[in-house]
Chain A
Amino acid sequence: MLAYVLRRVLLAVPTLFGITLVTFFIINLAPGDPAQLQTQGIMDSKVSNRVYEELRQYYGLDQPIIKRYGQWLWRLVRLDFGASMSTDRRPVWHKIRERLWPTMSLAILSLGISLAVAIPIGIYSAARQDSLFDTAGSTILYALYSVPSYVMAVPLILIVAIQWNLLPFQGIRSDDFEQLSALGKIVDLVRHYTLITFCFSYGALAYYARFVRQNMLEVLRQDYIRTARAKGLRERDVIMRHGFRNALIPVMTLFGLLLPSIIGGSVILEVMFNWPGMGRLFFESMMSRDYPTIMALTFITACLVLLGTLLADLSYPFVDPRIAYD
């Protein structure tokens, strides 16, 4: 077991190195840089050339690319993401830190909601296979699963936020947030979270419900379920204690794969809802060619994907002792 964990972790090292290579070179070898973007407004070409060279020197972009890669890697080892190259000139870590919570809270909320709804639906439709609930539910879930989240979001915004004027859809809080009472603040936050949380959750909800149902159906076909029924257990116990516990194994392993989306957010949805999260930060950094922020975000997300896969792989033997690694 220990040897297996060690081997997996060691295998991740070259992948991690590859991630840094791809991240750095895709972004740094491409034409156009922040210095160019920030001198676009200068009409006099002589002045703009001088300022351009100065800016490149200031950002360290005039040095050979290999050297810059080395420097970036060395800073990365010490978890220093450097200073932003956009005009706010703040440390990248500060920019990321303030965007972390809106994205994480959203992801955790939508994960909790979708699991809380999906697991009962999945179990019930598996237990009553081919009933009206199951067939109608399956069709609805399939349709929901097929609607891309941003395609769902625009009509939803139109109907709920604009035509009914029920909920706000821009940002995380109202302009007069500071003046509101404590209760008012909570209500305001809930109102802002509602629409975007729904758009984040429904696809996952449909996916989990189908996943749970499928796993339950497989488990319910096993011999030990027939044994449980044969010895006269109540149907509820058969389903919950003997069935669901075993169907839970694959669901648990999904968590590792969810990790990146918890931090990464969704670019389109966050831009659409003007949400101050990581996805929109990425989009804004792209627009201002903010190399250090883009690289930091890409690197963090890629690492989380790697970690997530690793956790998912390693979690199998913990969740299910029947699976053992040499």
Chain B
Amino acid sequence: MTEPTITLPQPQASSENYWRYVWRNVRRNRRGLAGLIVIAAMLAVWIFSPLLATNQPIVCKYNGRWYFPAVIEIFQSRGAGPHWIEKPRPFNLPQFDAKKELDPEAFAIWPLIPYHEYEQSTEFLQPPSSRHWLGTDELGRDLAARMIHGAAVSVKVGFVSMGIAAVIGILMGGLAGYWGGLVDMLISRVIEIVVCFPVFFLILAIMVWLEPNIVNVMIVIGLTRWTSIARYTRGEFMRIKGQDYVTAARALGIGHARIMFRHILPNALAPILVSVTFGIADAVLVEAGLSWLGFGVQPPDPSWGNILRTAYDSLNVAPHMVYPPCIAIFLAVLAYNLVGDALRDAIDPRLRGTT
């Protein structure tokens, strides 16, 4: 007879972290993963845009010295001190070629697109060629360079404006959901009023009076698109505030602010994140639309919206300018929507497939 074995319940490995669970589910979703890759690629293009497209070499050797002008531009154009290191002499392509004849030792690695986004030439509205891969625009600027630098606008607008919206939305929704009663009624009325104004009407109405630039676009989108985040937050706070651990926290005499932001908010964050992701897709779209109408990013600064506008204005002569901005905007919006869908499915599988 065998020794009766007593199987003691194994001490449970601490239950899976909620965010790890969400991440595991998102990773399993192939569409969501594709969206994430596109977003990561856009971020990379934004950060490394001078390495991809500028009129300075990435690395060059001239007169026996090494220079890294494009690498330096990354830091200069990212606001890490406007002139924290002096730019070495101009290494514009023709000049460099001329110097190369004098100095046979000279050597340079150029960016993929060796043009600056503001660099004008007399080759107006040229179709794609081996020199200008996507052709040139109405001022002879390289379209590929402008598309690459235009990505910055879409990335920044999406994240910054939704950051603003998330702060407002979480504060408003959190207050309404946590306190209920009169506070809830007041905030709900405010949300209802803001919701009544069609998105574009409200944003345009404010944009017309402000100086049209990217900062104002971000602020306006942030100030008008917080309502859905607030609604989600309110619902989550209302659901969670009745749970035992909140009652326990209250019994321990923890302050309201701490309960709201340390105990409730982390558990309410997932649905809010879904709404923020869809909001980013929307913000990218609204920015491109505003720039198209002329209220957003102003030329000569490149943005996909104003590139599309130039394309629209010269449809007859330069059809090649239409597709790059359209495809870029479409991909960006699609990517955020896919990630949003994946997140929502990961958080609550019951909602899978609902629109």
Contact = CB atoms under 8 A, between A and B. Distances in A.
Contacts of A298: 197, 201-202, 205
Contacts of A52: none
From A14, A18, A150, A283, name the one whose CB has the most chain B CB atoms within 10 angstroms.
A150
Contacts, number: 109
A260 B319 contact: no
Contacts of A289: 208
A154 B312 contact: yes
B354 A214 contact: yes
Interface stretch (A26-34, A70-78, A82-90, A108-116): A26-34
Contacts of A155: 322-323, 326
B323 A15 contact: no
Contacts of B206: 26, 30
Interface string B223-250: 0000000000000000000000000000
A261 to B, nearest CB: 8
B316 A151 contact: no
Contact of B196 (A146, A266, A302): A302
Contacts of B197: 19, 22, 298, 301-302, 305
| B contact patch SS | helix
Nearest to A162: B315
A273 B316 CA distance: 15
Given A150-B292, A260-B198, A301-B201, A158 B315 contact: yes
Interface string A4-33: 000000000011001100100011001110
Interface in A254-275: 260, 264, 266-268, 271-272
A93 interface: no
From B195, B196, B315, B322, name the one whose CB has the most chain A CB atoms within 10 angstroms.
B196
A163 B331 CA distance: 25
A148 interface: yes
Interface in A125-166: 143, 146-148, 150-151, 154-155, 157-158, 162-163
A18 B355 CA distance: 31
Contact of A18 (B190, B292, B308, B312): B190
Contacts of B189: 14-15, 18
Interface in A236-291: 260, 264, 266-268, 271-272, 282-283, 286-287, 289
A210 interface: yes
B289 A19 contact: no
Contacts of A287: 208
Interface string A288-326: 010000100110011101100000000000000000000
Nearest to B319: A158
B340 to A, nearest CB: 11
Interface residues of B, number: 39
A275 B205 CA distance: 20
Contacts of B202: 26, 298
Nearest to B308: A154
B194 to A, nearest CB: 8
B272 interface: no
Contacts of A18: 189-190, 192-193
A282 B204 contact: yes
B193 A15 contact: yes
Contacts of B192: 15, 18
A283 B193 contact: no
Contact of B353 (A15, A214, A264, A268): A214
B333 A157 contact: no
A272 B288 CA distance: 14
B293 interface: yes
A297 B285 contact: no
Contacts of A301: 197-198, 201
23 contacts: A14-B189, A15-B196, A18-B189, A18-B190, A19-B196, A22-B194, A27-B205, A30-B206, A30-B208, A146-B334, A146-B337, A148-B329, A148-B333, A155-B322, A158-B319, A162-B316, A207-B355, A260-B198, A267-B204, A287-B208, A298-B197, A301-B197, A305-B197
Given A148-B288, A303-B196, A305-B198, 5 more contacts: A14-B189, A27-B205, A154-B315, A154-B322, A283-B293
Interface of A: 14-15, 18-19, 22, 26-27, 30-32, 143, 146-148, 150-151, 154-155, 157-158, 162-163, 207, 210-211, 214, 260, 264, 266-268, 271-272, 282-283, 286-287, 289, 294, 297-298, 301-303, 305-306
